[in-house]
Amino acid sequence: GAVVSQHPSWVICKSGTSVKIECRSLDFQATTMFWYRQFPKQSLMLMATSNEGSKATYEQGVEKDKFLINHASLTLSTLTVTSAHPEDSSFYICSGRREGWGDEQFFGPGTRLTVL
Amino acid sequence: GENVEQHPSTLSVQEGDSAVIKCTYSDSASNYFPWYKQELGKRPQLIIDIRSNVGEKKDQRIAVTLNKTAKHFSLHITETQPEDSAVYFCAATLSGTYKYIFGTGTRLKVLA
């Protein structure tokens, strides 16, 4: 299979601070990475799509200046939540797509963000 | 926008019985339909998937059926076990992209 890791697995921060979450594809090159947000007892909602070396594409309603996404290499994408507020507390999950492997996305273990 | 509806939202079955979860998608050009099992606080785990050129696929106790005309697809779990208890999500690709649209989820409880 293909393995995706995320770091940190959980983070607690104060309101107004910024938090960076890393998503790494460990054994494949992810030409495309996706970032999802999942609130308790809800579904996964796509936030943005990132392709290596280009700007991320954000879904409607997602503030690109608040959720900064960088896909600097084929194995690393980062999500920075800027000026975090309690309503940003959620479970953030990334996934990677491997070129030539069709439509399957490989999911990371998620990052639990709590903003106090 | 495009969406995926999923029913039921909760499902309780006795151990050994079958469970069926149904999804309806709106994007007629969707061509890939994965099903995920998610345990609390964990990543979604792919359990089975189906492409639009196939009507049915089976893997041991799990099967998926697809009706393209009606834009329906369903997950069938036979001989359910307590460890099948989890939240199950269906998804469909958005045509022309590799993006997934997820269903709202079904919480399955298998009673011993």
Please indicate if any CB of chain B lies within 8 Å of the CB of A102. Answer: yes
User: What tens digit of pLDDT does each residue of B9-61 get?
Assistant: 999 999 999 999 999 999 999 999 999 999 999 999 999 999 999 999 999 99
pLDDT band at A100 (very low <50, low <70, confident <90, very high): confident
Contact B104 A34 (CB under 8 A): no
Single-letter amino acid code for the residue at B20: V
Residue A99 is predicted with a pLDDT of 85
Determine the average pLDDT of the residues in A1-12: 95
pLDDT band at A75 (very low <50, low <70, confident <90, very high): very high
Contact B41 A110 (CB under 8 A): yes
- Residue A33 · residue A78 · CB < 8 Å: no
Contact B42 A42 (CB under 8 A): no
pLDDT band at A53 (very low <50, low <70, confident <90, very high): confident
pLDDT band at A96 (very low <50, low <70, confident <90, very high): very high
Where is mean pLDDT largest: A28-32, A36-40, A72-76?
A: A36-40
Give, in order, the Cα–Cα distances in Å from A61 to each of A58, A64, A67, B85, B104: 8, 9, 11, 33, 19
Q: Tally A–B CB contacts below 8 A.
A: 47
Q: Which two tokens stand for residue A91?
A: 């479970």
Residue A16 is predicted with a pLDDT of 97
Q: Which two tokens stand for residue B64?
A: 């998926």
Residue A54 is predicted with a pLDDT of 86
User: What tens digit of pLDDT does each residue of B62-98 get?
Assistant: 999 999 999 999 999 999 999 999 999 999 999 989 9
Phi/psi at B59 (nearest 5 deg)? -140, 95
pLDDT band at A101 (very low <50, low <70, confident <90, very high): confident
A-chain residues near B103 (CB < 8 A)? 43
Does residue A114 have a pLDDT over 90?
yes
Contact B99 A112 (CB under 8 A): no
Could you give the percent of chain A with pLDDT greater than 70?
A: 100
pLDDT band at A102 (very low <50, low <70, confident <90, very high): confident
| Cα B23 from Cα A3, distance rounded (Å) | 28
Determine the average pLDDT of the residues in A3-27: 97
Pairing of strands A4-7, A19-25: antiparallel
Does residue B1 have a pLDDT over 90?
no
For residue A43, give the nearest of B32, B93, B104 by CB distance. B104
